[in-house]
Structure formats: structure tokens, C-alpha cells
Structure 1
């Protein structure tokens, strides 16, 4: 079967790129699929994640003003689709243009839209003006109307289904990117967080919480891995809170598995998520997680009090209390870490990709 993925650039270190590399490579290497990926303005940029050498890569270059951009994109994408002649098209693009693709392409075959983020990704700050709220409502209404033209609209969690009023919706979670043979010893005095500096990831909230942790456990370190954005003001906040000796920022780590294995607690402070890939990666490494119960993802992954802690979204004090509990009780850490590694098996690639295989075959029949 021939699958064509349509996406944007895949040179970054974000979750969508990681998940696409896992899924597309598994289909090509383990299931015998003929996999093609179309990128947008990828050019000669190198890929952050590894993709199977069996995958055929096509790139579309577009430039100019809005109208030139759309015309070039439409014409060149149609050319590739006509040449590849896929059995199924999967669209992995969280932007608005993705919703128009069934119209642009005329649905030459069954089409699937993969939604990797929550609608809340459109909210950039804690406060929104009246006009921005109206604009967002209109945008979401248009997205929902166009989404119904896809054969399937795939989301990652039960919570994500509540954001959409669609009959074609289906839940398929992200697959694990690795399941290491070894696990963390959970003895290093290190708490880890992973994700780019952004409003979504809520590191401002994490740092406020960490000040409380640091007061009780000053010998522990917080390490944050992800694309660094000085405009987020996190370095200044660290200095303002007086925790600069216990907080370290690192750029994205290509071998992030190594960093999970060197940590004893993982923390997710996001205001919202599409899934929470970093949670299942930490759990696969035997590391217990503390997470805000944000929309959407953590409650689908963490079983509270068994393999980690879910804290009311935004409860900075509660986050600190849960982190301190794991720091101060090594037997609890170890018990939750063992349970986490077992519970996360449901996200193994071979399990998740069976769902995709069944969906593809259902649509093509």
C-alpha cells in the first residue's frame, strides 16, 4: 500500500517531527508500506530525527506573496500527488491551510487528517481580547466545517475529542519512540523537563514551583531541555526567584533517552498539550512523572498515585508538593518508576501502528 504524508518542514526537534519519523519509518521498515513524505520549503535543511531510508522524500518550494504562495503550493502539491498516486493521504499539518487540502486536491483517494495539538495552541497568553476571542471562534468554526470533508479526523486523546463536533473522529495515540533495555537508577538528584521554551510549556509556572522545591531540597537540580527562546524571559525569572544555582537550560538533545535515564523525576508543567510524548518517553525509562492535569493528554497517560502524580492545572504549590514527595521518598520513586515502565507498554510502536494499519486497510477496501 502506498501512503503519502503531507507536512511542513521536518527539520526541527518538535513532537510532530518525532512522531512522524517513528510512524513513517515503522510502516516502511516493518509493515512493507511504500511511504512518501511531502515537505514544504525543506530545502537542504538536515533532519533532526532519523527517517527510514526506504521513505521517498518530495519537497515543495514556494515563495512570494500570499496568493503566489497558495497558487504555487496547490499546483506543485497536485503534481506530486498525481505522480505518486497514493492509496491514502495523511495530512500532518496543524495550520489552517491543511483543512483546505481535500478541496485543493479534489480527494483523489481517502484522506486522513492527523491533529497533533489542542485547539488551545491558538491561545498565546493568559488573557485574550474580545476581538481575538471572536476571531478564534470564527477560525474554529471554519476548521470544524472543513474537517468533516476528511475520511477520518484522528486525534490523540479522549480529551481531544471533546474539542470537536465531528462524526469522522477517531483516537489513535502517539507511539513510543524508544523503550530502553536499561532503566534509570533514580538515584541522581535530578528533575528533568523537556520541551521548547513557550507559553504552552508553562516553564514560568515550573520555575515558581521549583523555588519551593529548592527551599526544601537545595541539593537537587532542575534540567530543562528544549529550544531556548530568550524572549520568554525564563533566565531573568530564574534570577528573580534566586534559583540560578539549581536550574540549568539545555538545547534539544538528539539522544534525549540518555537524559531520561540520568534523571529521577520528570515534570510536565504545560498549560495544555496535544498528547504529551515526553511523558511516555520518561515512563519508558522507568522515571515517575509529575504533571499538571492540563488539557489534553496527561490524564490519558498517567494513573494518579500509581505511576505518577496529576496536579490540578496551575496549582504551583501542589506541583512542588508532589515533586518533593518523590524526591524525599526513594522507595516511592522506585515503585512508581517500575509501574510506569509497565503501564506505558500500551504505547509501544507495534501496538499503535496496528491501529494505523487497520485504519488504512478499512479506508482502501
Structure 2
């Protein structure tokens, strides 16, 4: 069976790219699928993650702006999909243009949408955000299946074609973190959505009582280095900023806790990765992933979204209690097994077979 994925690019270091590399590679190696990935403007060159060598990439060249951008995108996409003649098309694009793919391609083959973000990410400008939500909810019904990552995500969409398939783990090491180091880790691009300003505010309070602990942040910086400069100006000690790294598994294994201060998440890939390494997580109960992954007081802590004092209290509580950290770490590693690739990719295989019959 031939699958065609449509996305913007696969050379970034984000969760979408990481998951796509694991999932498509497994589909090729374990199930024998023929996989093609359509990207924009050579967005497949120098990929951050490794893809199976039998996967073929096809680049659309879109240079013009505005309405011309969408016209060029539509024309080239229809031509390329027609040439490839796939059995199933999958859209991995959290922007608006991806929602128009079924209308562009017609009813020639099943088209599946993979939603990797919460609708809450579209709430920036009140009018614009509300308009975007309405358009996306309306267009979601055009897809053969609309796949979200958690049961909580289902509630964001008013459509009968919505199903849940979580993200697969990218690793599950035999070893676990010792949880004895005085290191906390934060993984994600530096942005307001990922809550870096919240992390700075929390860490400023935490270091008053625990000046010997370190917070290590891994992720792409914004062009102005806003958060790094803010931390420096506030004189916050022991908060270190690093670029995204391919060996992030090693960094989890060196940490004793992970924090996720995000305002919204489509899933929370870093949560299951840290849990797989036996690291307890402290996360805001933001829309729409953490509550479906973290069980409060069992394998981590789930904090009311935006409640900074409660977040700091939960963090210092676990920093002070090594025994509790280790209890939660054991539970976290066990609970993460539900996201093993063999458990997740098999669900995709079953979906594809059901649509091809």
C-alpha cells in the first residue's frame, strides 16, 4: 500500500518531525508500506532525525506570497499527488492550508488529518483566533478520518470522524535516571506557548531555597534570545539554555525532574520521553495533553494551568524528597510503556487496512 504524507518540512527538531520519523520508518520496516513525503522548498534536506532509507521525499517550490502562495501550493500539490497516485493521503500541517487538502484533491482517495497541536494554539488574537477555530472545525469534517492525540483533544472538534491515536515513543532505554542529581530539565522551543516566561518566574522563586539545583533548557531559541536575556537580567542563577540536541535521551537520564510549563500542548511528547527514562514530570494542566499522560501524585504532578505558586511548591516538594521522586520515577517508566512504537504504529496499520477495504 502506498502512503503519501503532506507536511511543511522534516528538518526541524520538533515533536512532529521526531514522531514522523519514527512512525513512517516503522511503517516501512515492519509493515512493508511504500511511503512518500511531500514537503515545501527542500524542507527535507539535512533532517534533524533519521528516516528510513526507502522513504522518498518530494519538494514543492513555493516562493510567492499571499494569495499567489496558496494558488501555487494548490497547483503543485494536486499535480504531485496525481503523479504518485497513493492509496491514502495523510496531512501533517497544523496551519490553515492543510485543512483545504480534501477539497483540493477531491474524493479520489481517503485523506487523513493528523492534528499535532491543540486548538488553543490559535487563540492569540481574540477575533482572528475565534475565526480560525470556526474555519478549522468546519473543514475538519471533510477528512476521511481526523486523528488527534488524546481523548481530551477530541472535545475540541465537533465532528464524527475524530479518532484518537497517541504519539509513539522514540526511545525506551533499559536503564533509568538515578534521580539523585540536582538537575531539572525543560525541553521545547523557546516561546510563550512553551511557557518559558513561566519557567523563569518559577525558577526565580525555587532558587531562593535551592540555589544548588540547576535547570537545563533544551530547544531552539527565538531570534532575539528573549528568554535568555530575561533570565540574565533578573540575575537568575543555575538556569542554562542549550540548543536542541539529538541525544536528548542522555539528558533525560542525567535529570531528576522534568518541568512542562506550556500554555498549550497537542500532546506533550517530552512527557512520555522523560517518563520512559524514569523521570517524574511536573506539568501545567494545559489543553490538551498532560492530563491524558500524567497521573497526579502517582507518576508526576499536574498543576492548575497558570498557577505559578502551586507549580513552584510542587517542584520544591519533589526536589526535597528523593524517596518520592524514585517512587514516581518507577511508576512513570511503567506507565510510559503504553506509548511504545509497537503499540501505537499497529493502530495506524489497522486504520489503513480498514480504509483500504
Q: TM-score scaled to structure 2, two decimals?
A: 0.97
The 5 Å alignment of 1:9-158 reads: 9-42=9-42, 45-124=45-124, 132-158=125-151
Name the SS for the 1:139 alignment partner. Answer: helix
1:352 aligns with 2:344: yes
Instruction: Please list every run of 5 or more consecutive structure 1 residues that lacks an aligned counterpart in the other structure.
Output: 125-131
Q: How does 1:207-246 map to 2 (within 5 A)?
A: 207-229=200-222, 231=224, 233-243=226-236, 245-246=237-238
Task: Determine the C-alpha separation between the residues in 2 that align with 1:6 and 1:171.
Answer: 20
Deviations 1:302-339 (A, max 9, x none): 01111000111111111111111211111111111111
In 1, distance between residues paired with 2:83 and 2:173? 40
> What CA distance in whole angstroms lies between the structure 1 residues aligned with 2:159 and 2:347?
20
Q: CA deviation digits over 1:247-288, x for unaligned, max 9? A: 000010111111001111010000111000000000000101
Secondary structure of the structure 1 residue equivalent to 2:177: coil
Q: Is it true that 1:274 corresponds to 2:234 in the alignment?
A: no
Give the match for residue 291 of structure 1: 283
Distance 1:144 1:232 in 2: 35
Structure 1 partner of 2:173: 180
| Cα pair 2:122 2:133 within 8 Å, conserved | no
Residue 336 in 1 paired to residue 331 in 2?
Answer: no
Answer yes or no: is the 8 Å Cα contact 1:19–1:175 preserved in 2: yes
Aligned with 1:331: secondary structure?
helix
How many residues were matched structurally?
357
Contact 1:11 1:42 in 2 (8 A): no
Are 2:298 and 1:312 equivalent residues in the alignment? no
Contact 1:198 1:232 in 2 (8 A): no
Indicate conservation of the 8 Å contact 1:208/1:241, yes or no: no
SS of the equivalent of 1:206 reads helix
Question: What TM-score do the two structures reach when normalised by structure 1?
Answer: 0.95
Between 175-184 and 77-86, the greater mean CA deviation after superposition? 77-86
Change in Cα spacing, 1:141 to 1:43, as seen in structure 2 (3 Å) is: closer
RMSD: 1.4
Deviation at 1:154, TM superposition (A): 0.7
**Residue 65 and residue 203 in structure 1: after superposition, are their counterparts in 2 closer, same or farther (change >3 A)?**
closer
What CA distance in whole angstroms lies between the structure 2 residues aligned with 1:133 and 1:224? 30
